[in-house]
C-alpha cells in the first residue's frame, strides 16, 4: 500500500510491486487480478485506516469539537515525522487520475466524501450539544475542514515543511476551537 501511496498508480510499475511483495507476475495476477484491482484494495485499506483513526480520536475526546481539534494536532505530529509520503492518498489519486482511469478517481472521491461526512457528523453533534452556534452549517464547516486537511497534508510534502507543520496544524486546531470560544 505504501508503495502505491508514495508513487501513485501510474508511477508504480509491476517491477516495483514484484520487489515489494516478493512475488512473480504470475502469482500477483493470480492473487489480485490486475494492477488496478490491487490499487483499489490498497486505496480501500488506506481509507479504512484513516476512518478508524478519526473515529477513535473522536470517541476518546471530551467533546466532538475537541475531537476534531485533536485529530488535526495528531495529524500535525504525524506529518512532522520523516515518512515516505505525507499527502493524502485519496487526494493524490484524484489528482493523478485522468479520464481513462475514471474508476479510480470516482472511488477516491467517494472515500473522501465519507471522511467529510464523518467531519460533518462531528460538527452536527457539536452544534446539537450547543458547543458551536446554531447558525453554523455543519456541511460547510466539514468541507472547510476537509480542505484545510488536504492543504496541510499537501504542504507537508514540501521538503522544508517539517519546521512549519506543527505551527500550521496548531493554527487549524485553534480555529476549530475558536468556533466554541466565540460563542461563549
Q: Interface with its own copies includes 43 (CB under 8 A)?
A: no
Taking each continuous run of H as one helix and of E as one strand, the counts in the chain are 9, 0
Residue 146 to residue 177: CA distance in whole angstroms:
16
143 touching its own copies, by CB under 8 A: yes
In the complex, least distance from residue 183 CB atom to its own copies, rounded to whole angstroms: 15
Q: How far is the CB of 170 from DNA (least distance, A)?
A: 40
- Residues near 173 by beta carbon (within 8 Å), at least 6 away in sequence: 69, 70, 72, 73, 76
**Count of residues binding DNA (CB under 7 A)?**
16
Is 155 a binder of its own copies (CB under 8 A)? yes
Asked whether position 12 contacts DNA by CB under 7 A, the answer is: yes
Asked if 57 is part of the footprint of its own copies (rule: CB under 8 A), the reply reads no
- Member of 1, 6, 35, 117 binding DNA (CB under 7 A): 35
User: 14 is in the binding site of which of DNA, its own copies, none (Cβ under 5 to 8 A by kind)?
Assistant: DNA
Q: How far is the CB of 123 from its own copies (least distance, A)?
A: 13
Q: Can you tell me the distance from the alpha carbon of 68 to that of 177, in angstroms, rounded to the nearest whole number?
A: 9
Question: Least separation, in Å, of the C-beta of 98 and its own copies?
Answer: 6
86 contacts: CB under 8 Å, gap ≥ 6: 79, 153, 156, 157, 161
Binding DNA by CB under 7 A: which of 24, 136, 140, 158?
24
Grid cell, residue 45, equals 485499506
Q: Which stretch binds its own copies (CB under 8 A): 18-26, 38-46, 53-61, 157-165?
A: 157-165
27 to 2, 10, 30, 31, 120: CA distances (angstroms):
20, 20, 5, 6, 42
Amino acid at each position: 500500500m505504501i508503495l502505491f501511496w508514495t508513487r501513485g498508480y501510474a508511477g508504480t510499475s509491476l517491477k516495483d510491486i514484484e520487489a515489494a511483495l516478493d512475488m512473480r507476475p504470475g502469482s500477483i495476477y493470480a492473487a489480485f487480478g490486475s494492477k488496478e484491482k490491487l490499487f483499489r484494495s490498497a486505496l480501500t485499506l488506506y481509507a479504512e485506516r484513516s476512518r478508524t483513526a478519526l473515529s477513535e480520536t473522536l470517541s476518546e475526546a471530551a467533546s466532538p469539537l475537541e475531537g476534531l481539534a485533536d485529530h488535526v494536532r495528531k495529524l500535525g505530529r504525524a506529518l512532522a515525522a520523516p515518512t515516505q509520503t505525507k499527502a493524502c492518498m485519496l487526494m493524490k489519486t484524484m489528482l493523478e487520475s485522468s479520464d481513462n482511469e475514471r474508476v479510480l478517481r470516482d472511488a477516491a472521491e467517494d472515500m473522501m466524501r465519507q471522511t467529510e461526512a464523518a467531519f460533518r457528523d462531528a460538527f452536527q453533534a457539536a452544534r446539537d450539544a450547543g458547543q458551536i452556534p446554531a447558525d453554523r452549517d455543519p456541511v460547510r464547516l466539514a468541507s472547510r475542514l476537509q480542505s484545510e486537511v488536504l492543504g496541510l497534508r499537501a504542504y507537508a510534502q514540501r521538503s522544508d515543511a517539517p519546521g512549519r507543520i506543527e505551527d500550521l496544524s496548531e493554527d487549524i486546531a485553534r480555529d476549530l476551537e475558536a468556533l466554541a470560544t466565540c460563542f461563549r
